[in-house]
């Protein structure tokens, strides 16, 4: 009986209050914030950690990544303990992880051809990031070599920076929900092959962890708002056109029930 009760607990759905945006009257530009509760099965859900590198070329980005990583550690642990698959996706660092079991496990999976991409499009971003978005004036270069050490990689986790591999891992495990955290909302979070745009076009239900992310945005560029406000604007853009969002605190609270 104890074993049965534990099994039931592990497979119990959790309810997340997903925030999205609805244009009340089409074409009016009158967007309203809406929250919709959604029950999901943790075992049918994965959490992907996007480009949380050990080092970024922009010092402003470096400074903001550290507290995000620290805040994310207990969230990731709680998701893993509830049965969620954890995927680490530090792009352009797969050579560093080539001999790890977490990298080898996903590379060895059977190939699954994704379906034809859904024709989803969206307007331009509400911020100007054409100069790279760095708010500390640094010049771009490849600064990263691995994921930030703050975030542990556990035995059952996977490591990949390829959308086709991530898609195969999800489908082979019957996973339909993908929680997305990391950096940066206006770049990798939207545009990596394993992240929101491509996965959404392939039919995966993406959910942004909106307080575990950041934006490459310089307040000296359009729309000339503080950095945090720039991030909020991109999160709102994602909620309008791509995916709902949830707070990490709301996720961890739901996982505790």
pTM of this structure: 0.94
- Is the C-alpha dihedral spanning 218, 221, 227, 228 positive or negative? negative
Contact 56/144 with Cβ under 8 angstroms? yes
Residue 1 has pLDDT above 60, yes or no: no
**Which has the closest alpha carbon to 46: 214, 190, 158, 175?**
175
What's the fold here for domain 41-116+128-256?
Answer: Rossmann fold (3.40.50)
Tens digit of pLDDT for each residue in 66-115?
A: 999 999 999 999 999 999 999 999 999 999 999 999 999 999 999 999 99
**Domain residue spans of the chain:** 41-116+128-256
Mean pLDDT score, 134-155 = 97
Please report the pLDDT score of residue 2 as a whole number: 43
Task: Look at phi and psi of residue 224 and say left if phi exceeds 0, alpha if psi is from -120 to 50, else beta.
Answer: left
Instruction: Give strand pairing partners of 246.
Output: 209
The per-residue pLDDT for range 172-221, each reduced to its tens digit, is 999 999 999 999 999 999 999 999 999 999 999 999 999 999 999 999 99
């Amino acid at each position: 009986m104890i074993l049965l009760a534990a099994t039931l607990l592990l497979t119990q759905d959790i309810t997340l209050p997903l925030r999205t945006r609805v244009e009340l009257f089409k074409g009016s530009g009158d967007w309203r914030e809406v929250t919709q509760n959604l029950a999901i099965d943790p075992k049918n859900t994965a959490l992907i950690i996007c480009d949380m590198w050990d080092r970024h070329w922009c010092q402003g980005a470096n400074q903001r990544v550290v507290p995000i990583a620290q805040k994310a550690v207990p969230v990731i642990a709680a998701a893993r303990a509830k049965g969620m698959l954890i995927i680490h996706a530090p792009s352009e660092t797969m050579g560093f992880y080539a001999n790890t079991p977490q990298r080898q496990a996903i590379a060895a999976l059977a190939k699954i051809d994704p379906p034809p991409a859904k024709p989803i499009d969206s307007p331009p971003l509400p911020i100007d990031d054409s100069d790279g978005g760095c708010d500390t004036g640094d010049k771009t270069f490849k600064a990263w070599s691995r994921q930030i050490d703050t975030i542990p990689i556990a035995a059952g986790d996977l490591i990949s920076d390829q959308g086709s591999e991530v898609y195969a891992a999800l489908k082979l495990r019957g996973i339909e929900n993908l929680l997305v955290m990391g950096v940066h909302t206006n770049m990798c979070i939207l545009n990596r092959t394993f992240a929101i745009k491509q996965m959404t076009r392939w039919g995966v239900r993406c959910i942004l962890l909106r307080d575990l992310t950041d934006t490459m945005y310089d307040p000296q560029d359009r729309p000339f708002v503080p950095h945090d406000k720039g991030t909020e604007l991109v999160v709102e853009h994602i909620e309008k056109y791509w995916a709902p969002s949830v707070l990490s605190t709301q996720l961890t609270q739901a996982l505790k029930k």
